[in-house]
C-alpha cells in the first residue's frame, strides 16, 4: 500500500489523502508532513504533534504530549515534549530522553504516574506502590513509607526477583510480594500499580459488585480477602492474573498490571471511575443489571467470551 500524501484543504487545514485525492478519514490537522518510514508527523488542532500511520491511526504516546516531532529516520523520530524535554520516539511510540538509560527512563515514568495517582486522589498519605521490571528481571519498586505524591526518581529501589533488596537506601514496599507474583506470572506486563482508590474500596466494603454493570470497562474481579502487606495478597490475586489486567483487593485497594506504567495507570483510573459511577447509581436506587445477551456481547467484545 502506498503512503497517502498530505494535502492543504481550501479551509487551510491539512488532511492525509489517498492517490485519488480522497482524505484518509475525517481528521483534519493544522499541519502534516510527508510520510517517512511509514509514518507522518501531524499537528493536531490543539497544536500538539503526533505520528500517524498510512491509515490515519495515531501512534500511542503513553500520555506524553509533544511540541514537535521530526520525520522518522532509522527507526526513531527526534521529538520534544510539551515539558521541553528533547529525545526520540521509537516505532512503538516509546519516548526516550537524550542520553537516558532504560532504568532512568523507567524511574522517571514511575515517578510521573505516582504523582498522578496522588493528584487524582487514588492514593493518599503513604498509600500505594508501583513497580517496573527491568531487562535483567529485577524490579524497580517504590520503597516502604514513601509518599507517592512527592516521590523522586532516585527514591525507587531495585529488588531481585525474590524480593530481596539489590540497590537502594530503603527497604521495598511491604507489598513487594504482590508485585513479584504479578511480574513472575505475566511476562507480557512490565508495570504493576497498587492504589488505595477510595471508591473501589468503598464498593468492596459495601459489597457492591462492579460486575453487574460493566459499563465501558472490562469485567473487574474481586479477590478473596487478604490482610494488607501479607503473604496472602499474591495468593488471593493468583486466580485472576491470567484472564484479567486488574483486580479489587477487598477492604484494601486495587491492583493493575500492564505493558507499561501509563497503561497500568489508565486501568486504575478507569476502575476507580467505574466504582464511583456504580456507587452514585446505587445511591439513587436499585441498579438494573445487563441482560444475559448484553453481558455475553460485552464479554465477547473484551475477548473474554470464555468467562460467559
The CB-of-266 to Zn ion minimum distance in angstroms stands at: 20
Residue 30 C-beta: closest distance to Zn ion, Å: 44
CA gap 50, 43 in Å, rounded = 6
Beta bridge partners of residue 52, listed in sequence order: 40, 58
Q: Which is nearer to Zn ion, 97 or 149 (CB)?
A: 149
Burial class (CB within 10 angstroms; exposed 0-12, middle 13-18, buried 19+) of 139: buried
**Which residues inside 237-256 make contact with Zn ion, applying CB under 5 A?**
253
Query: Is residue 229 classed as helix, strand or coil in its secondary structure?
Result: coil
If the CB atoms of residues 61 and 142 are measured against Zn ion, the closer one turns out to be: 142
Instruction: Evaluate whether 43 touches 31 at the Cβ level (below 8 Å).
Output: yes
Residue 200 Cβ vs Zn ion, minimum distance, rounded to whole Å: 12
State CA 172 to chain mean position distance: 22
Contact indicator for 222, 247 with CB cutoff of 8 Å: yes
Number of residues in contact with Zn ion under rule CB under 5 A: 1
d(CA 128, CA 118): 9
Kindly state the smallest distance separating residue 44's Cβ from Zn ion, in Å.
38
Residue among 4 and 253 whose Cβ is closer to Zn ion: 253
- Give, for 103, the enclosing helix (H) or strand (E): helix 102-119
Q: E strands along the chain, which residues? A: 5-8, 14-17, 31-32, 40-43, 49-52, 66-69, 76-81, 86-90, 95-97, 129-133, 139-141, 157-159, 165-167, 191-195, 246-249, 253-258
> Nearest to Zn ion by Cβ — which residue?
253
Grid coordinates in use for 210?
A: 462492579
Q: How many Å apart are CA 146 and CA 284, to the nearest integer?
A: 38
Nearer to Zn ion, 41 or 130 (CB): 130
Nearer to Zn ion by Cβ, of 87 and 253: the residue is 253
Nearer to Zn ion, 217 or 254 (CB): 254
CB of residue 73 to Zn ion, shortest distance in Å: 45
- Site track for Zn ion across 204-233, x = CB under 5 A: ------------------------------
Q: Write down the least CB distance from residue 133 to Zn ion, Å.
A: 20
Q: How far is the CB of 194 from Zn ion (least distance, A)?
A: 6
The residue (of 103 and 269) whose beta carbon lies closer to Zn ion is 269
Residue 127 CB, shortest distance to Zn ion, in Å, is 6
Contact pattern for Zn ion over residues 253 through 282, marking x by CB under 5 A: x-----------------------------
Comparing CB distances to Zn ion, the nearer of 69 and 241 is 241
| Alpha-carbon distances of 109 from 42, 63, 190, rounded to whole Å | 25, 10, 12
Residues engaged in binding Zn ion (CB under 5 A): 253
Amino acid at each position: 500500500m502506498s503512503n497517502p500524501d498530505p494535502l492543504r484543504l481550501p479551509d487551510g487545514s491539512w488532511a492525509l489523502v489517498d492517490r485519488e485525492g480522497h482524505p484518509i478519514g475525517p481528521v483534519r490537522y493544522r499541519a502534516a508532513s510527508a510520510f517517512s518510514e511509514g509514518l507522518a508527523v501531524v499537528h493536531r488542532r490543539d497544536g500538539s504533534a503526533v505520528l500517524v500511520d498510512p491509515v490515519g491511526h495515531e501512534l500511542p504516546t503513553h500520555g506524553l504530549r509533544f511540541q514537535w516531532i521530526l520525520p522518522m529516520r532509522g527507526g526513531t523520530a527526534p521529538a520534544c515534549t510539551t515539558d521541553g524535554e528533547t529525545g526520540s520516539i521509537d516505532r512503538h511510540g516509546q519516548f526516550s530522553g537524550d542520553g537516558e538509560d532504560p532504568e532512568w527512563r523507567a524511574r522517571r515514568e514511575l515517578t510521573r504516574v505516582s504523582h498522578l495517582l496522588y493528584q487524582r486522589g487514588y492514593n493518599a498519605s503513604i498509600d500505594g506502590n508501583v513497580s517496573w521490571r527491568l531487562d535483567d528481571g529485577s524490579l524497580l519498586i517504590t520503597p516502604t513509607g514513601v509518599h507517592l505524591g512527592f516521590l523522586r526518581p532516585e527514591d525507587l529501589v531495585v529488588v531481585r526477583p525474590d524480593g530481596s533488596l539489590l540497590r537502594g537506601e530503603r527497604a521495598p514496599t511491604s507489598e513487594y510480594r504482590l508485585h513479584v507474583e504479578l511480574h513472575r506470572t505475566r511476562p507480557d506486563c512490565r508495570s504493576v500499580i497498587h492504589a488505595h482508590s477510595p471508591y473501589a474500596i468503598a464498593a468492596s466494603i459495601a459489597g457492591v459488585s462492579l460486575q453487574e454493570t460493566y459499563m465501558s470497562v472490562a469485567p473487574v474481579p474481586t479477590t478473596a480477602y487478604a490482610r494488607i502487606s501479607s503473604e496472602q495478597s499474591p495468593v488471593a490475586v493468583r486466580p485472576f492474573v491470567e484472564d484479567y489486567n486488574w483486580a479489587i483487593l477487598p477492604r484494601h485497594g486495587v491492583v493493575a498490571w500492564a505493558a507499561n506504567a501509563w497503561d497500568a495507570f489508565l486501568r486504575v483510573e478507569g476502575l476507580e471511575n467505574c466504582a464511583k459511577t456504580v456507587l452514585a447509581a446505587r445511591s439513587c436506587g436499585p441498579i438494573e443489571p445487563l441482560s444475559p445477551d448484553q453481558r455475553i456481547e460485552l464479554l465477547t467484545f473484551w475477548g473474554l467470551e470464555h468467562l460467559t
